[in-house]
Structure 1
Amino acid sequence: MAEQRRSDRGGAAQHVLVVFPGYHRSWAAWIAQMLERHGYRATQQRWDPPREVPLEDSLGDLLLSTGQVLLVLNDWFFELGPRPAGEWNDVLRGFVAHHADRFAAVNLTNRPLLPATAVLEPASLWALSEDAAEERLLSRLGLDRAPRPRTLPNPVRYPDMRCDIWGEVPRRNPRFTGRDDLLTDIHQRLSDAERGASACTLLGMSGIGKTQLAAEYAHRFSTDYDLVWWVNSDDRNIQRDRFGELAVELGLSIGNEPGERIRAVREALRRGEPYTNWLVIFDGWDDSEGINTLLPQGPGHVLVTSRNRAWTEHTDVLEVPAFLRAESTGYLMRRAPHITEAEADEVAAEFGDVPLPLVQAASWLGESGMEVPEYLRMVRERRLSTVDEPATGEGFPQSSMTSWSILLNRLRRSQPQAIDVLGLCTSFAPGRIPLGLIRAYPQTDLPEELRWMATDLPAWTRALDTLVNYSVLTRETRGPLGAEMGPHQESVHMHRLVHDIVSKLTGEENRAVHRRAVRTLLAEADPGNPVDSRNWPRYAELLPHLEPSGALSSGQPRVQATVLNCLQYCLRSGEYNSGLELAQKIRASWSQMMEPLDRPLLELTAHESYIMRTSGRFREAHELDRRLLERLQAASQRNEMAELSMQSAVAGDLRFLGRYEEAYALQQKVLEGSERLLGPDEVTTLVDRHNLAVGLRLLGRYAAAYELDLETLTRRENVLRARHISTLHSGTAVAHDLRLLGRYRDALARQEPLVRIHVQVLGPLHPQTLAARVQLALCRRREGGHGEAVGAIMADLLDQLARLHGREHYRTLSFIANYGNYLREHGDLSQARDLIDEAEAGYRALLGPAHPVATGMLSNTALVMQVAGDRADALAMSEAALAGLTSTLTADHPWVLGCALNTAAARNFNGRIAEAVELSRETLRRARHTLGHEHPLTLSCQVALAADLRAVHEQEEAGKLEDDALLTLTRTLGAQHPHTISARQRVRPYWDFEAYLG
């Protein structure tokens, strides 16, 4: 019977899926071997289900296998993820209990497990002999012992049996997190290497987790080895002594002389006598001297941890990266259960996912119970050291500061020029450092003690090589991006942790000299034109180094110009958050050393208010601009250009605040002043002309806006270039005007190639490119020939806008409203309602309920209500929108006309026919006057009036209006356009309110 169960390939008991966390790899290997010895098939599956996947789904995936699923448990197993409190108990009581016949478990700990684990009836293998564990395993699975168990090649040792020689391997870290793929990679590299050359170096900076990784490897794969020997290699003498001590363990008859012992140990390991399966780990072997006399060869494996890149010449090298973000957050949440995933993510980002500082952060948060915002505030204010000794019990070195101090002292003695380079690096920001600047601009006025860096290439190369070999820096290679990019081919990377440590250990003696040199170099490297997108990569390089170099507090005009150019780069490239933060820092510094009306502060305010407006902080921007304009106008000495600049800024603020007439009048005055002082083709004048067209568009004067935008586009093409960012912006403005004028095909024909150029010049996710892509989607929707493809495009665009700006940003809200209108039109009423409600609430919060855009959104809400059958509420909402817009705009404004069209329909649907006829007739009259007889909105008003007239039996007039509208729609939009088809089918027309702030 048992033989039949073992050989019956169709039976469920034939196969067992052994599911284990990577931590218990050795137990899983032993369990699988035991099952195979008795004639059963076993598959091992390492398991660490993603936190974002429901636990029930992950467990359900395991049931896709045949046979039983054996979970290898201890208390750590239930911390995988980690998961919210109670999730495991709920799933065990529900899903697992429902499939109890498929799940089984073994328990490797004597610590209590979750109460609901009882459903698994785990068989405890804790502290059992191998035979007893084997018996209990088979019994739990309901499997019979084979009369004569098979002998397998390369048998796996029972995990509770330590290998014959286990030499001072650090205690296993009970909180070791992740790194499963990295450990598997190490094992594969060592196993696949040629005999006698199986050595791998774990390379990385201090604190990255090399020692922990090596220790975990030794424990996790201990069953593969008969000898594991750990050699601390920070000090050469200690290293030699420790390696030589292996001679005693191997029973070699040899004296006490270290050299003789080392030679004997290496020979024994080479021959594989008495052990062929050996592992020797050299931890912290940074000094590459002695490799030829110490590094063993033979049938076993060697693992080295080092910061010295010279190991690439001697062994296989594996770069140890920072934690994956999921590993970082998982560790933090297990160690400090009170913090959320979002908070753990913020802490992990703060420390760059580097294990050592994360251990310190997790220890602090876990022991103190401090909330994350307070902890990060302390860290950032330097009240809490991030590089002190780590918490004990984690298995990390006692002091990373000590190891760095030793290294720096060694460099001071042997390579003092490397210390000079290191000190210079700490006056840059951590991360990528464009050190090539110092040699790219040899004419720079460097301090005497640093001039060798620009003139002595051999010394420069030696210093850099030394720092790179010790993993203080890593050399980055970046090919030339063309002459416009500037000399940034030579750069290095310095991790934030290393930067902090080195800054503390190198002191302040030469800091002022180094900082002055760095900010001088930054000014030399400034391309001088942040408007040109071809210079943005260079500004991106310079930006992080402004603050650490002291550039923000410099009184040198050239450095101040560089600071302002970097700020303008932020606003031009769409880095608004970074720009606002930088502007605030600049203001805090410059306000102490300048008068409010000094030119640099005036330029700062112009850039800062622009970023505020673009970020949706309209009232703050207006207050900032208004105060400065008042100061300029009250000054004893007039600065007319500065006044014009601030008036233009105030006009922009007023547009966003919905004060369109005031904004237009002020912007018109600004343009007249710019043309008088600068001429019609100056860049500033072109900006002012573009902004005046924006004002016209907001006033509903679409034809005038189109003519002005077309003129600006032509001038920009001549003055700038066709692919300049400002020229592209004008191109989108022209397409926008054409669409609002109802010239949908013309708008689409212009916008399609324009978007392609945007993507080529600025990239697909630049804010201006996204705005151009939004305009293209709206053109396609209005043109009517793209069907369901438009919906997919709009859904994708909404995701991208939300990721870039957030869902509460005015640009995202505008598109949410547009997408909601599209979905309502195409039958997805539920999602349409959600989106329209979100946009309406968002605009009300951002702008206030009286703003024209917030008022106009009520019309969109009314349309959703009407389609849903809430006709009375829809009428009330439409009437409120119409009254509100009429009071803030003119009765002839297209927004008011569209709202009136919808209100007339609502009156008709509610039986108020005479009122509907009256409103429809008046709306058509105004639309013809404002937009012309052939505009789609005018024709919709004409079709609507015909419908209302039919309702009061005015058939003759209704027929004439309808026939005329159909002929004009067919001629202007085409017979198959949705507007034409709807009119032909006598579907009541409506008009979406398109939320637009400028």
Structure 2
Amino acid sequence: MAEQRGTGRDSAAAPEHFLVVFPGYHRSWAAWIAQCLERHGHRATQQRWDPPREVPLEDSLGDLLLSSGRVLLVLNDWFFELGPRPAGEWNDALRGFVAAHADRFAAVNLTNRPLLPATAVLEPASLWGLSEEAAEERLLSRLGLERRRTPRSVPTRLRYPETRAEVWGEVPRRNPRFTGRDDLLTDLHQRLSDAERGASACTLLGMSGIGKTQLAAEYAHRFSPDYDMVWWINSDDRNIQRDRFGELAVELGLRSGSEPGERIRAVRDALRRGEPHARWLLIFDGWDDTEGINTLLPQGSGHVLVTSRNRGWSEHTDILEIPAFLRAESTGYLMRRAPHITSDQADEVAVEFGDVPLPLVQAASWLGESGMEVPEYLRMVRERKLTTVDEPATGEGFPQSSMTSWSILLNRLRRSQPQAIDVLSLSTSFAPGRIPLGLIRAYPQAELPEELRWMATDLPAWTRALDTLVNYSVLTRETRGPAGAEMGPHQESVHMHRLVHDIVSKLTSEDSRATHRKAVRSLLAEADPGNPLDSRNWPRYAELLPHLEPSGALDSTRPRVQEAVLNCLRYCFRSGEYNGGLKLAQQIRDRWSRTVEPLAQPMLDLTTQESNILRASGRFRDAYELDDGVLTRLQAAPERSELGELSTKSAMANSLRHLGRYEEAHTLQREVHDGNNRLLGPDEAPTLIARHNLGVGLRLLGKYAEAYELDLETLALRESLLRARHISTLNSGSAVGHDLRLLGRYRDALSRQEPIVRLHVQVLGPLHPQTLEARAQLAMCRRREGGHTQDVGPSMASLLEQLVQLHGREHYRTLSFLTNYGNFLREHGDLSQSRDLIAEAEAGYRALLGPAHPVATGMLSNTGLVMQAAGERAEAMSMFESALAGLTATLGPDHPWVLGCALNAASARNFNGRIADAVDLSRDTLRRVRHSLGEEHPLTLSCQVALSADLRAAREQEEAGKLEEDGLLSLTRTLGAQHPHTISARQRTRPYWDFEAYLG
């Protein structure tokens, strides 16, 4: 007869193996359960379990079944929050996978709170509120095991988890939301267990808020069965610490006098002897002042745990530095407390607070109790409308004990090292994170208040103050420069966590903050290198930028500070930090509009930079309207500013080019160039910029030869005046390479563009926006030159990924490259991906620019080429004819873009049987292209070869043959016999023209 589960088995005859699976929180229960099983003749293996969220639950549960025997799950409601996981996943796994393997799973339940409904499949035995004997009986019954009449003895009998140690002194209540830290707790237990007798002391070291106290309390609860006595001693105040330590004498029944010193000596002696308890744990929480260590720190068979911010403990105990949460711990905690947020949002919050537990607790409380959405919460935090010490409307507030601990530390420092308080308070007028405190010593001429001038003049005092703050884990030291290089005090940087910044700010008087912010503004102005165009200065600007707002620099009316602010904005534009630049520009405008006249030079300079960044971000209409409004006010002003008007018109011309109004833009740009040349001279920066932009405009108008001559002259001037590695010189070099390629001089373009790209990478880095643009030009040079076909595809794919990473897929520079890569793929046989990319680019341009923009219209020609390659000839002809008509209306009949569309349209007419129409269009196109681009331009020769094909179809063989022969000779002479264009013409493959989307 088959035996039913739970009715008893002959355990002596058939010992079983159990895998006891538990969350780290229930380590003591798992150990007790394993001990019970072993005492009754069975084998047990304990396994701490926290299945990763990204691994399917069925897979993690399946891994447990790889062990022999049955799997015993130690459950409470927390168990099902591991991960955490989407709602319903656990129920699905229990109803499916676990139910299918019900004979392998069993469970005990440690809570009186409801479990998931599907937990019924496990038939968990409740151990809640039972005595040790009853719990053991129920455990064995659930597993169908027989109780031994004489259980085996074990070397050290573990205490039942519900039974506290004989002495349990004011240990903080266990935190039911304690998250992660399992490896740290295991490491700590191992260190204390492995230490030599009398030396089992470990200090949990770290900044306030990192979770030292929580970790110590969890250790006491989790490993309480290992100890007969656990005593908690708050150690912020030395007198309270001594009294609390002495209270043990009464608790242990020791004979001692009433004087504190006598009690302490009696306790130390009892602990050393291990009488009456040999297994003891003492926890000194918040022991920062290491005085009195020799008097209080006990030795003996027990363990000592200290929590401290003071690195001086390394001389007295083992040190365990407490790091921030692991990212999975941070996100898991946030998602358990605020179930409405996604894993990506939780990750963003964790990044914001550096995975430090205390601010994450505050964030989880705000998000969970208020239901606030993450974007709104982070916006308020970043705008300083919320700090890490603000209490939510409901739920848990900031722990008063933590604020008290900070107050005690600051008061102690005021007495022992007041100059450290000066440095700490000054640091809160910078932004949290990396703080370039070395500026204080690097710029002694900065206007420091009298009480802070010692920082610039007294190096020993400066060093002592910093050492003190670092020693107390308030700040950490950072240095700039190569690894291993010697750094002077003027280069010194420190890191202040946001939590420390918020707490110290809250404990600093308003008067001190105002004085210190003024000093920091002065330092930032002095540290401004004054030249954001030079990429060598960009690391300094990146260092200054975060501190503008917290120092009050954005509100300053001092010209020197305002110029530093504008230079930081210019850096954002030049370095490609467009999103940050737009945000900064709006912040500046909000502040300056209250105090600065609309037409004052700082406000005009602000508008210029904001307009630049708007255009670089693809917001061409917004940039134009911003500048147009300023120009209207300038022209209406009582005193005209011709230079101010020219600067604004230059920006407007730039916007007009991007908006497709090429003739209007060129006329305005010519006016700007002539005006700057007259007022400033040919060598000044505004004149050189105007010359460069004239070249851009000529290129868009299809006047490639004129653009080339002008760009060559601009390049020579910039090389002479700015030197070869200047960002503007590099831009001119790339423009010349672009001109050469559009002129059909592919080899010359390639030989010029390759060294230009190398310089870009050296000076600006490989991922700077201007470098990526130069690399895109190089890819097109290699494609057109025809000798690098194998390398072009992979390099274009890689470059596209980098453009998407920097700009996103909808940015105009990404769309341009999507177009060129899609054309390349079509040309080399990957029609499916080509169609996808071209369709994406066409839709992107239509959304960004509108359907009537020349670039959006020209994209129809690329769509037609994809259709034609797919055999959709009628649809392709419709695309080509639409592109031709649209571009002719906006650009005129002789623009190279129009002529290229005409080449494609003639091809489509031929393929669709309209031979006479094809001949007429091809004749007209060849005549126009010879006039526009010359006799030997590749597009001209393609039009000549195309006309010969149309004439051949019209049976005009003699003219067709002569045109074809002349075209082949010219192609061989200009491009070479092995160039793809020459080979295609020789094979009588119909030539085509793909549209390069270019906005300038």
TM-score of the superposed pair, with normalisation by structure 2: 0.88
C-alpha contact 1:19 1:47 (8 A) present in aligned 2: no
Write out aligned runs for 1:532-611 (5 A).
532-611=534-613
1:533 CA displacement: 1.2
Which segment drifts farther, 334-343 or 884-893? 334-343
C-alpha contact 1:360 1:391 (8 A) present in aligned 2: no
C-alpha contact 2:370 2:394 (8 A) present in aligned 1: no
Write out aligned runs for 1:84-95 (5 A).
84-94=86-96
- For 2:93 and 2:102, the matched residues in 1 are separated by 12
- For 1:826 and 1:107, the matched residues in 2 are separated by 65
C-alpha contact 1:388 1:401 (8 A) present in aligned 2: no
Which segment drifts farther, 385-394 or 920-929? 385-394
Corresponding position of 2:529: 527
Corresponding position of 1:6: none
C-alpha contact 2:390 2:398 (8 A) present in aligned 1: no
Secondary structure of the structure 2 residue equivalent to 1:670: helix
C-alpha contact 2:877 2:909 (8 A) present in aligned 1: yes
Match of 2:643 among 632, 641, 644: 641
C-alpha contact 1:175 1:394 (8 A) present in aligned 2: no
Count of residues paired in the alignment? 987
Match of 1:23 among 22, 25, 33: 25
- The amino acid across from 1:895 in the alignment is W
- For 1:904 and 1:760, the matched residues in 2 are separated by 46
Corresponding position of 1:47: 50
- For 1:441 and 1:308, the matched residues in 2 are separated by 31
Corresponding position of 1:450: 452
- For 2:914 and 2:388, the matched residues in 1 are separated by 72
Corresponding position of 2:438: 436
1:224 CA displacement: 4.9
Match of 2:887 among 882, 885, 892: 885
Corresponding position of 2:740: 738
1:719 CA displacement: 1.6
C-alpha contact 2:366 2:392 (8 A) present in aligned 1: no
- For 1:662 and 1:402, the matched residues in 2 are separated by 68
Deviations 1:117-150 (A, max 9, x none): 4455656565677788788878988999999999
Deviations 1:581-640 (A, max 9, x none): 222222233333333332222222211111111111211111121222233334343433
Corresponding position of 1:757: 759
1:536 CA displacement: 1.4
Secondary structure of the structure 2 residue equivalent to 1:509: helix
Secondary structure of the structure 2 residue equivalent to 1:637: coil
Secondary structure of the structure 1 residue equivalent to 2:91: helix
- For 2:270 and 2:588, the matched residues in 1 are separated by 67
- For 2:62 and 2:952, the matched residues in 1 are separated by 62
- The amino acid across from 2:575 in the alignment is S
Does 1:420 pair with 2:422? Answer: yes
1:92 CA displacement: 4.3
Does 1:900 pair with 2:876? Answer: no
C-alpha contact 1:63 1:102 (8 A) present in aligned 2: yes
Corresponding position of 2:817: 815
Match of 1:315 among 305, 314, 317: 317
1:580 CA displacement: 1.9
Corresponding position of 2:81: 79
Match of 1:461 among 460, 463, 468: 463
Taking a change above 3 Å as real, the CA distance of residues 957 and 365 of structure 1, as seen in their structure-2 partners, is same
Task: State the identity as a percent.
Answer: 82
Corresponding position of 2:875: 873
Which segment drifts farther, 536-545 or 795-804? 795-804
Deviations 1:222-244 (A, max 9, x none): 45555443222222222223333
- The amino acid across from 1:50 in the alignment is R
Taking a change above 3 Å as real, the CA distance of residues 277 and 639 of structure 1, as seen in their structure-2 partners, is same
Taking a change above 3 Å as real, the CA distance of residues 590 and 779 of structure 1, as seen in their structure-2 partners, is same
1:970 CA displacement: 4.9
Secondary structure of the structure 2 residue equivalent to 1:178: coil
Corresponding position of 2:863: 861
Corresponding position of 1:5: none
Secondary structure of the structure 2 residue equivalent to 1:497: helix
Which segment drifts farther, 808-817 or 944-953? 944-953
Secondary structure of the structure 2 residue equivalent to 1:337: coil
Taking a change above 3 Å as real, the CA distance of residues 390 and 889 of structure 1, as seen in their structure-2 partners, is closer
Taking a change above 3 Å as real, the CA distance of residues 626 and 240 of structure 1, as seen in their structure-2 partners, is same
Taking a change above 3 Å as real, the CA distance of residues 15 and 453 of structure 1, as seen in their structure-2 partners, is same
1:406 CA displacement: 3.3
1:750 CA displacement: 3.3
Corresponding position of 2:668: 666
Corresponding position of 1:470: 472
TM-score of the superposed pair, with normalisation by structure 1: 0.88
C-alpha contact 1:39 1:146 (8 A) present in aligned 2: no
- For 1:92 and 1:436, the matched residues in 2 are separated by 59
C-alpha contact 1:169 1:215 (8 A) present in aligned 2: yes
Taking a change above 3 Å as real, the CA distance of residues 457 and 383 of structure 1, as seen in their structure-2 partners, is closer
Write out aligned runs for 1:228-627 (5 A).
228-247=230-249, 252-270=254-272, 278-373=280-375, 375=377, 386-388=388-390, 397-479=399-481, 488-627=490-629
Deviations 1:52-77 (A, max 9, x none): x5545655666777887665543223
- For 1:819 and 1:604, the matched residues in 2 are separated by 37
Deviations 1:301-321 (A, max 9, x none): 433222223333333434434
Secondary structure of the structure 2 residue equivalent to 1:997: coil
1:652 CA displacement: 0.7
Corresponding position of 1:8: none
Secondary structure of the structure 2 residue equivalent to 1:229: strand
Secondary structure of the structure 1 residue equivalent to 2:767: coil
- For 1:948 and 1:802, the matched residues in 2 are separated by 42
- For 1:378 and 1:58, the matched residues in 2 are separated by 39
- The amino acid across from 1:359 in the alignment is V
C-alpha contact 1:480 1:489 (8 A) present in aligned 2: no
Taking a change above 3 Å as real, the CA distance of residues 552 and 248 of structure 1, as seen in their structure-2 partners, is same
C-alpha contact 1:285 1:306 (8 A) present in aligned 2: yes
- For 2:155 and 2:750, the matched residues in 1 are separated by 71
- The amino acid across from 2:823 in the alignment is N
- For 2:847 and 2:147, the matched residues in 1 are separated by 72
Unpaired stretches in structure 1, ≥5 consecutive residues: 3-12
- For 1:936 and 1:764, the matched residues in 2 are separated by 32
C-alpha contact 1:156 1:224 (8 A) present in aligned 2: yes
1:692 CA displacement: 1.5
Taking a change above 3 Å as real, the CA distance of residues 381 and 797 of structure 1, as seen in their structure-2 partners, is closer
Corresponding position of 2:730: 728
- For 1:216 and 1:693, the matched residues in 2 are separated by 70
Secondary structure of the structure 2 residue equivalent to 1:282: strand
Secondary structure of the structure 2 residue equivalent to 1:510: helix
- For 1:220 and 1:614, the matched residues in 2 are separated by 57
- For 1:608 and 1:408, the matched residues in 2 are separated by 43
Corresponding position of 2:714: 712
Secondary structure of the structure 2 residue equivalent to 1:334: helix
Secondary structure of the structure 2 residue equivalent to 1:202: strand
Secondary structure of the structure 1 residue equivalent to 2:400: coil
1:453 CA displacement: 2.6
Corresponding position of 1:10: none
- For 1:521 and 1:886, the matched residues in 2 are separated by 58
- The amino acid across from 1:800 in the alignment is Q
- The amino acid across from 2:635 in the alignment is Q
- For 2:576 and 2:270, the matched residues in 1 are separated by 64
- The amino acid across from 1:645 in the alignment is S
- The amino acid across from 2:719 in the alignment is E
1:971 CA displacement: 5.0
- The amino acid across from 2:582 in the alignment is L
Corresponding position of 2:800: 798
Deviations 1:234-276 (A, max 9, x none): 2222222333344455564444443334334444444556666
C-alpha contact 1:447 1:517 (8 A) present in aligned 2: yes
Secondary structure of the structure 2 residue equivalent to 1:993: coil
1:84 CA displacement: 2.6
1:677 CA displacement: 3.2
